[in-house]
C-alpha cells in the first residue's frame, strides 16, 4: 500500500468518480472529511474546464486533507484522452483511476511525477492486462455496483485478484454503510469504493428528480443491461420506464465515450444509474454528515465484531 498517500485517511474509502454526478464540491468535501474524493474528467465539457476544476480543488485543500483522484476513460472513442492526460500530469494529480482500458503510456505518464494509478476491472483477464500495463492497484467492480458493473461476487473476485498480485485491491459494489466498509477489509480489500451512496448529497451534480428517485428505490428497482450505454451497467428501472423505453425491443448500442456526453444520448442524463445498495439512501444529505455517520457505523461494527469473535476459540 502506498503509505504517503493513504496514511492520513479517516476511513479506508474512495468515493468513486461518477459521470454527470461528481464535481469539485463533492471532491472537496470528501477530502476535507478524510476520504478520497474523485471526479471523471469527462464531467467537464472541455480540457480547459478540467484544468479549472483541478485548480479549484487544489486551492481548496490543505496538506492534512485526504488526496483526491480523477478518472480517465482509456478507450479509443475518447479523443480527449491525450489532452486531459497532459492537464492531469501538469497538476500532478495524486491518484488516477483508469477505466475501460489500461495503457502503459498512460501509467508511465502518471508515474513520471509520482502519481499512482488504480484500474477498474470486472474480470481476471482485464486485471492481468492492467497489471501488465503497470497499474498500482485494482478496483474489483463486483455485482450490483452502480455504473458499468461486473457480475462476480466480491468474495470470489477479491480472492482471485489477490492471487494475481500483492498490490492494493479496492472493493467496489453496493458498499453503503460503515459495516460494509469493514466487511470489504475483512474480505481482503485494502480500500472500499463507494459510488451510489454519494449521489443524493447536497454537493453532487445530480438533479432533484434523480435524488428523489434514489430515496424511493431499493435493490429490486435496479436493472442490469447493456442496452442503455453499450456496456453492461446498472440503471434505475423507474427512469427507464419514465423515459418510455422498452428494453425488450432495443438493440445494444455501440459504446462511445464521446456521444454519451452529447445532448442526444439519454444514457446517464435521463436514464439514471445506481447500484443495488440504493436502499441505504433516505434523504439528500451533506457529504460531511454521511462520512461522519460512516465513521461511527464503522466503529460500532468493529466493536460488535470483536465482541462476537471472542465467542470462538
Ligand X SMILES: Cc1cc2nc3c(=O)[nH]c(=O)nc-3n(C[C@H](O)[C@H](O)[C@H](O)COP(=O)(O)O)c2cc1C
- Please give the residue ranges that form the binding site for ligand X (CB under 6 A): 16-19, 21, 40, 71, 97, 99, 120, 141, 145-147, 172-175, 193-196, 273-275, 277
CB 232 → ligand X: shortest distance, Å?
Answer: 12
The smaller minimum CB distance to ligand X, of residues 4 and 151, is found at 151
Return the closest-CA partner of residue 215 out of 127, 279, 137.
279
Which residue's Cβ lies closest to ligand X? 195
CB 132 → ligand X: shortest distance, Å?
Answer: 20
CB 154 → ligand X: shortest distance, Å?
Answer: 11
Dihedral sign for Cα atoms in the order 297, 298, 299, 300: positive
Q: Give residue for cell 472537496.
A: 28
* 144/107 Cα distance (integer angstroms): 28
The smaller minimum CB distance to ligand X, of residues 198 and 312, is found at 198
The smaller minimum CB distance to ligand X, of residues 99 and 201, is found at 99
Query: Which three cell numbers, joined as nine digits, stand for 25?
Result: 464540491
CB 265 → ligand X: shortest distance, Å?
Answer: 13
The smaller minimum CB distance to ligand X, of residues 109 and 142, is found at 142
CB 62 → ligand X: shortest distance, Å?
Answer: 26
The smaller minimum CB distance to ligand X, of residues 5 and 273, is found at 273
The smaller minimum CB distance to ligand X, of residues 17 and 23, is found at 17
DSSP designation for 275: -
CB 310 → ligand X: shortest distance, Å?
Answer: 32
φ, ψ of residue 183 in degrees (nearest 5): -65, -40
CB 119 within 8 A of CB 102: yes
The smaller minimum CB distance to ligand X, of residues 51 and 120, is found at 120
CB 279 → ligand X: shortest distance, Å?
Answer: 11
Q: Give residue for cell 464535481.
A: 23
Query: Which three cell numbers, joined as nine digits, stand for 23?
Result: 464535481
196 CB-near residues (< 8 Å, 6+ apart): 146, 174, 176, 214, 274, 275, 277, 278, 281
CB 245 within 8 A of CB 271: yes
The smaller minimum CB distance to ligand X, of residues 7 and 80, is found at 80
Contacts 24+ apart (CB under 8 A), 149-156: 149/122, 149/173, 149/224, 149/232, 149/233, 149/234, 149/275, 150/121, 150/122, 150/123, 151/122, 151/224, 151/232, 152/122, 152/123, 154/184, 154/187, 154/189, 155/187
CB 148 → ligand X: shortest distance, Å?
Answer: 6
Amino acid at each position: 500500500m502506498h503509505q504517503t498517500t493513504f496514511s492520513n485517511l479517516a476511513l479506508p474509502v474512495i468515493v468513486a468518480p461518477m459521470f454527470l454526478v461528481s464535481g469539485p464540491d463533492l471532491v472537496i468535501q470528501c477530502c476535507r472529511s478524510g476520504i478520497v474524493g474523485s471526479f471523471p474528467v469527462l464531467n467537464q465539457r472541455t480540457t480547459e474546464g478540467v484544468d479549472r476544476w483541478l485548480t479549484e480543488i487544489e486551492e481548496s485543500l490543505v496538506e492534512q486533507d485526504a488526496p483526491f483522484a480523477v478518472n480517465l476513460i482509456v478507450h479509443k472513442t475518447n479523443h480527449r484522452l491525450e489532452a486531459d492526460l497532459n492537464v492531469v500530469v501538469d497538476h500532478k494529480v495524486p491518484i488516477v483511476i483508469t477505466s475501460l482500458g489500461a495503457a502503459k503510456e498512460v501509467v508511465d505518464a502518471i508515474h513520471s511525477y509520482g502519481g499512482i494509478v488504480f484500474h477498474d476491472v470486472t474480470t481476471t483477464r482485464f486485471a492481468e492486462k492492467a497489471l501488465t500495463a503497470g497499474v498500482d492497484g485494482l478496483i474489483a467492480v463486483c455485482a450490483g455496483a452502480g455504473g458499468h458493473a461486473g457480475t462476480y461476487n466480491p468474495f470470489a473476485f477479491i480472492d482471485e485478484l489477490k492471487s494475481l498480485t500483492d498490490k492494493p485491491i479496492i472493493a467496489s459494489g453496493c458498499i453503503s454503510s460503515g459495516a460494509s466498509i469493514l466487511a470489504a477489509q475483512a474480505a481482503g480489500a485494502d480500500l472500499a469504493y463507494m459510488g451510489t451512496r454519494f449521489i443524493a448529497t447536497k454537493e453532487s451534480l445530480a438533479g432533484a428528480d434523480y435524488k428523489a428517485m434514489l430515496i424511493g428505490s431499493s435493490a429490486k428497482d435496479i436493472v442490469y443491461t447493456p442496452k442503455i450505454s453499450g456496456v453492461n451497467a446498472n440503471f434505475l428501472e423507474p427512469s427507464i420506464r419514465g423515459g418510455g423505453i422498452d428494453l425488450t425491443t432495443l438493440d445494444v448500442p455501440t459504446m462511445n465515450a464521446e456521444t454519451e456526453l452529447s445532448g442526444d444520448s439519454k444514457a446517464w442524463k435521463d436514464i439514471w444509474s445506481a447500484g443495488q445498495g440504493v436502499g441505504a439512501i433516505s434523504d439528500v444529505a451533506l457529504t460531511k454528515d454521511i462520512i461522519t455517520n460512516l465513521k461511527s457505523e464503522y466503529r460500532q461494527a468493529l466493536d460488535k465484531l470483536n465482541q462476537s469473535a471472542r465467542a470462538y476459540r
